[in-house]
Amino acid sequence: MTASRPTVTAATIRAEFAARFGREPRGLWSAPGRVNLIGEHTDYNDGYVFPFAINRRTLIGLALRDDNVLRVASSHAAESVEISLDDLAPEKLADWSAYPLGVAWALGQFGARLGSLPGADIYIDSEVPIGAGLSSSAAIECAVAVALNDVWHLDLDRRTLAKVGQLAENRAVGAPTGIMDQSASLLGEADAGVFLDCRTLDADVIPLGFDAAGLELLIIDTRVSHSHATGGYAARRASCEAGAAAMGVPALRDLHDRDLAKAAELLDDETFRRVRHVVTENQRVLDTVRTLREHGPRAIGALLDASHVSMRDDFEISCAELDLAVETAKAAGAIGARMTGGGFGGAAIALVPHELVTPISAAVEQAFADAGYTAPTLFTVRAAAGATREL
């Protein structure tokens, strides 16, 4: 099934805002989802990631109120949720509204004096598919963060707003995620990636050149979610910590190719392979950034391919559906392909010449049908601008 691109417009936000709240929004803001081009399971090892903001966005309409009540509504929920700004606390927030309300709470942790600020009505709609690995969660957080930052005149910079989104997700939602998604959603630019150092939080915007080279990024959502995803993630983190401790470094980021021979001697085989994935993946992120600069985007295919092999064989987080997606896309002419995200299901990405999008998509759909797998969802994304005020 090839997904057509859903569009949420200013007009739909205005109409729904009026239907829910009986008045007009005073402004519109948007923030994009993201895809990680390369750098998987490197974030919690203090390493490098290289995501980009995508051309699917979450939009919000907002109008300030005369009282201190924050009221949020979403196209994904029948009921709106409201709370007084004075009452905001992580333990009082639950379900989907923990994302937008958690951002308001987190802004308080970064200096906003919530007790003296006006409340607001907020309506949210999104083009970012939920749970498909494109970070609808960062899109909603960052849209709300930039909107409240504007209307409350907080003047927080984008790097701080990324931390606000992360704090909301960690504390109000309770998900122990890093800062990659929010950084991409806030700092992204058209046809550019966000190269992020997860130790220093330094972020560099790097031109991708996909547009000029006639390339698109094809997302192949396998729609598979394996039950061992959560346990597998925790086990991989534990292996990485054990590997770093045994090698006497603060994090695997501090190891390089030259240290692998010593690691092979010191570590058991499984821990060694987990370590090797992280060490080589960090190097692949650096190589991708350098290769883009020196040789352009058609030259990064081998790095994407090597990333997949490393996750399949060393980190062991792929699955049959992801492997089939990657192998079929490559055989049909993709420049490079890899699984993306935490693993054990989710999506693969393939860097594809524009004219091959249709035949490669058809080949993947056919291969899944032949294997008896659930039909994947396929669509292309472009690198787009980060969060912004629309109106």
Contact map string, positions 181 to 220, toward ligand ADP, x by CB under 6 A? ----------------------------------------
Q: Within 10 A of 7 (CB to CB), how many other CB atoms are there?
A: 10
Residue 36 interacting with ligand ADP (CB under 6 A): no
In angstroms, how far is CA 345 from the centroid of its own chain?
15
Nearest to 50 by CA among 287, 221, 231: 287
Left (φ > 0), alpha (ψ -120 to 50) or beta: where does 92 sit?
A: alpha
Residues facing residue 87 across a β-bridge = none
Is 111 marked as a binding-site residue? no
Phi first, then psi: what are they for 261, rounded to 5°? -65, -45
Catalytic option among 181, 221, 305, 314: 181
DSSP states along 24-46: --SEEEEEEEEEEEE--S-GGGT
Q: Of residues 42, 68, 135, 318, which one binds ligand ADP by CB under 6 A? A: 135
Task: Tell me which amino acid residue 294 is.
Answer: E
Q: List binders of ligand ADP among 92-131 (CB under 6 A).
A: 96, 99, 124, 126, 130-131
The two structure tokens encoding residue 54:
């995508």
The two structure tokens encoding residue 221:
């959502």
Nearest to 320 by CA among 236, 218, 224: 224
Q: Considering the complex, what minimum distance in angstroms separates the CB of residue 160 from Mg ion?
A: 20
Is residue 181 annotated as part of the catalytic site, yes or no?
yes
The secondary structure of 351-376, three-state, reads EEEHHHHHHHHHHHHHHHHHHCCCCC
Residue 233 interacting with ligand ADP (CB under 6 A): no
Q: List binders of ligand ADP among 46-65 (CB under 6 A).
A: 58
Q: Considering the complex, what minimum distance in angstroms separates the CB of residue 311 from Mg ion?
A: 19
Q: Considering the complex, what minimum distance in angstroms separates the CB of residue 12 from ligand ADP?
A: 13
From CA 363, how far away is CA 91, in angstroms rounded?
Answer: 48
Q: Of residues 58, 74, 137, 166, which one binds Mg ion by CB under 5 A? A: 137
Among Mg ion, ligand ADP, none, the one that 74 touches (CB under a kind-dependent 5 to 8 A) is ligand ADP
Task: Tell me which amino acid residue 307 is.
Answer: S
Is 161 marked as a binding-site residue? no
Counting residues that bind ligand ADP (by CB under 6 A) gives 14
Residue 340 interacting with Mg ion (CB under 5 A): no
Residue 235 interacting with ligand ADP (CB under 6 A): no
In angstroms, how far is CA 268 from the centroid of its own chain?
32
Q: List binders of Mg ion among 97-136 (CB under 5 A).
A: 135
Binding residue ranges for substrate: 40-43, 233
- What residues form the annotated binding site for ATP? 74, 131-137
Residues labelled as active-site residues: 181
Q: Which residue ranges make up the site for Mg ion (CB under 5 A)?
A: 135, 137
Residues that bind ligand ADP (CB under 6 A): 58, 74, 76, 96, 99, 124, 126, 130-131, 133, 135-137, 140
Annotated binding-site ranges for Mg(2+)? 137, 169
